[in-house]
Amino acid sequence: MCGILGTSSNNSAYECYRGLLAIQHRGQDSAGILSFDGIVHQKKEKGLVLNIFNKEELSKLEGSKAIGHVRYPTAGTNTLCEAQPFFLSYPYGIGLAHNGNITNYQDLKLELEEKHRCIHSKSDTEVMINILSEELMKNDTFEAIKGTMERIDGSYSAVMMLPKKLIAFRDPYGNRPLVFGEKTNLDETAFSFSSESVGLDVNGYSLVRDLLPGEAIVVEENNAEKRLLCPKGRAHCMFEWVYFSRPDSVIEGKSVYEARMELGKNIEFEGEGDVVIPVPDTARTAALGFSEKYGIKQREGLIKNRYIGRTFIMPTQVSRDVAVRDKLNVIKGEIRGKRVILVDDSIVRGTTSKRIVTMLKDNGAKEVHMISTCPPIKHPCYYGIDMPTEKELIAARNTDHVAEMIGADSVTYQTIKGLVKAIGLKKDELCLACLNGDYPTHIPEETRSSLTKTRECERTGDM
């Protein structure tokens, strides 16, 4: 799960920089911006946006169009060669930034290598840009994107640059988010694409709408041409509303903040408690909804060090464990001797939950009752979220004993019905595969095994 952004304005690189800052929460491993003014300009490094770019660096990224990326590694490794955007000079210069996961990556990579195309990284984005290159040699822009969609499987939202064109497209099921904005200043009409609406807000763009599943938009000069190329349905990732997106974003016309309020209200809790404590930051809104429903006061019992990144999207368990210890501290007076209702967005591996529960009890909590605003996660995600193996998922092993395994007095999960109701879309418009195993695209068993093995090797460094 990464963040992408594209702009077409007289200040594109700076707008791209500001937009990437707004969606930095989607990826902390690396960041990059590519612009074009007859010459390709690019800057990408490992690290955070604020540390990579400064005024001098941005001044070198000239051009009226730019694309940018913040990376969260799920496919490939976390080295600089996987940092995006990617650029390919043939047939006439293509820049690409991608959010998602190509599930037939290995097959496509072998196909390209048989044609003597050299792949330099383990990134599925590099395979995608090579497929686009092949299609652009045969077709116009829209037909090339359609041909690419027909060849690749999985999830993807992408922003792309060709000479004089800024392009965005979304996979046939719309699994990964992508929104479209517009603004007019004097004689200029500018357009922008972003993984979340906050990437538009910060630069003064009005949210027009989300790209449709299988849709491509080509911006050239002051015009944006839209075509529906390869729609197959709707399978929007439910985890955007649960965890990934900022609460001030609007995804598929649904406010993330309002959805999280409803997630808290839709919890059916049968126990008792003295205080509601959210796990900062993503659970705050849901904890407020839960507190209002049950009339139990909410307090800030856990304080987050804001200079520590999001632990879920860190690449290894060791880095996550260290970050949890560094990130959170307890306000002892709010939890000592109390029955604490601990609200978190989800329980994935259970390791973070266990550390937090232990922290609260070590600091005097009488009881800790865990609330997950997401239903039990029992199945791997193959579409770009870092939960690739069932053995890592605590609920896949034994849902009935999760409380015991994390040291809580009880665990209450959201229901799928409550989740769907809170988001406000139809159940068949959401991807719930990690909850119920119903994947929107066909993933052959050999592909699942290969992806699992690859990710396990990456975690241990045995490549």
* Interatomic CA distance for residues 319 and 312, integer angstroms: 10
How far apart CA 390 and CA 387 sit, in angstroms, is 8
Q: In what order do the strands lie in the sheet with 215-220?
A: 86-88, 94-102, 154-162, 165-170, 215-220, 223-228
Beta pairing, strands 302-304 & 328-330: antiparallel
User: E-assigned strands of 315-441?
Assistant: 328-330, 339-344, 367-372, 410-413, 430-431
Q: Which residues are known to be catalytic?
A: 2
Cis peptide before 444 (omega within 30 of 0): no
What tokens appear for 326 in the block?
A: 């560094």
Distances from the Cα of 25 to the Cαs of 2, 156, 228, 310, in angstroms?
9, 18, 30, 7
Q: Which element (helix H / strand E) includes 420?
A: helix 416-423
* Cα–Cα dist 118/130, whole Å: 9
| Pairing of the two strands 367-372 and 339-344 | parallel
For 3-64, strand residue ranges (E) read: 3-8, 30-36, 40-46
